[in-house]
Structure 1
């Protein structure tokens, strides 16, 4: 049976390739997203950085498993989300995780 949920929400692990000296270091954090209906999603120009930020601000409910330089956990706040969204590689990783979940994409597809 399919249950209709007004606004589905879900957690995903966001894998981020963080730029480092001669390459990248893989890091991850958890994000809780809400599903944005297609009509609303279509109003965001995710090909532009501000449009992508606006979309992710709307879709993101919470972030977890994020620490500061000293390893101390950082609790979720709108300011933390904005700090994360200011990095293009984080934005792209978050959008990829959201899209993969909503479109049920699997590795290799």
Structure 2
């Protein structure tokens, strides 16, 4: 039978471990939209939800990353975090910032990758 002091020590150690263990990155809420052109020249509106991206990871627009494809355009950021759209793949080249909660760009804002980040 465990003594009360040993039980309290075990509980304190467990609590310390939980507090010291880093948690997972917070999920991004909301959706990100953009328009891309397929190989037949037809435009499509794409919606990405929070399960499709996470904070601090550069994502290439899969429909616009291959050689010879047109860049995506008309982004709309309906997430709770700023989004940076880049003219080249792998978050390279000139970028534009879309504010959280409705920041958008028109048909002239061309991009091939994006990054969601607070700073």
TM-score, scaled to structure 2: 0.29
More helix by share: 1
Larger Rg: 2
TM-score, scaled to structure 1: 0.31
More strand by share: 2
